Amino acid sequence: MDISQLLTAMTPEVYLRILTAVETGKWLDGSVLTPQLRDSAMQAVMLYQSRHNINADHMTVAAGGEIKFKSKAELKRDFAVNSSATTCNADTAISDNDIARFEHDQL
């Protein structure tokens, strides 16, 4: 199978399964990847990302095949957006100085 056939056949679901296997070293059923299989799976992930990863995260392969490096300012902005969206209750937003507190009956 050549690269174009591989990328055409790879669905987003298959990509996510292979990505998880590369990250953890195991398939979803718990079987361990051999070093050779892990290398091949990592290459497949990078090829898929080079074609489909339009909104690339920091240190991933972006569309076009280039590794995406974000500046410190971009990372701070991304984390600020993500952390401001985190909430405890529907009414209360979590700040950086908040500590999670639980009543005894909540444990």
Q: pLDDT 10s digit of each residue in the chain, 107 long?
A: 788 888 888 899 999 999 999 999 999 999 999 999 999 999 998 888 888 777 777 667 776 777 776 778 877 887 787 665 555 555 555 566 678 788 888 77
* Residue 7 within a domain: yes
* Residue 107 within a domain: no
What is the pTM assigned to this prediction?
0.56
- What backbone torsions phi and psi does residue 95 show, to the nearest 5 degrees? -100, 175
* Residue 98 within a domain: no
How far is 107 from 101, CA to CA, in rounded Å? 10
* Residue 93 within a domain: no
Range of the domain at 34: 3-69
* Residue 10 within a domain: yes
* Residue 78 within a domain: no
Tally the domains of the chain. Answer: 1
Q: Which element (helix H / strand E) includes 63?
A: none
The 3-state DSSP class for residue 93 equals strand
